[in-house]
Each structure stands twice: as structure tokens, then as C-alpha cells.
Amino acid sequence: MLSRTASDGQRENVLLFSLFPQLPIDFIMTNLYAAAPGNLIFTKAKLVNLRTPDGSVSITDDVFTEVKKGIKTERRLEGEAAFRACLKDRFGIVLP
């Protein structure tokens, strides 16, 4: 669960993360919210995350992190070429 403090000081739920399959239409409202101006990390940092059979891989800005069987390793992605190569090799994402 991702929550935030609203302008009135009350906590409100923003996102609920789930392992259940989702349809593309399910992402429309969360994309609109996440892409809106404001104090959301989604508009201020590069964020990529993928679950793997024995952990996860992620990128936060220029740091690639892999968690495998509870062991966490990190490495810095030096430059745009390294970032794009990591996206392609580890996440199957090819940017135009």
C-alpha cells in the first residue's frame, strides 16, 4: 500500500500493489495520477521494478538493484547507454 498525507493532514491510500494479472485499462487512472505534477516520486525519478522467480530487479535513477534469494546487490549505471542496455537486458524494455 502506498499512501500520502493530504492537505488536510489526513492519510489517504494512493496505490495498492498486487500480484494478480491486470488489463491495460486498469493502468489508466493510476497513470494519470502518477504523471500529474506534484510531490510524487514517479515524476521526479527514474523507477523500474520487476519481480523475478527468486526476488526482484529494479532501477532507481542510476542505480540497478537485484535481490536474489534474499541477497541484495547494487551497481551504478554510468550514462544513458548503460541505462538503456540494462532496461533491454534485464527488463525487456527497448526505448525509441
**Do residues 66 and 72 make contact, with C-beta atoms less than 8 angstroms apart?**
yes
**Beta bridge pairs of residue 60:** 47, 63
Please say whether the beta carbons of 42 and 60 come within 8 A: no
Indicate whether 73 and 61 sit together in one domain: yes
Q: 34 and 18: one domain?
A: yes
User: What value does the mean pLDDT of the chain take?
Assistant: 88
Strands 11-15 and 2-5, how do they pair? Answer: antiparallel
Q: Identify whether the C-beta of residue 59 lies closer than 8 Å to the C-beta of residue 83.
A: yes
Domain that holds residue 95: 45-96
Q: Are 50 and 88 in contact (CB under 8 A)?
A: no
**Is 50 in the same domain as 95?**
yes
pLDDT (tens digit, 9 = 90+) per residue, 53-88?
999 999 999 999 999 999 999 999 999 999 999 999
Pair 58, 31 in one domain: no
At 24-61, the pLDDT tens digits run: 888 888 777 777 777 567 777 889 999 999 999 999 99
Please state, in angstroms and rounded to a whole number, the distance separating the CA atoms of residues 40 and 35. 8
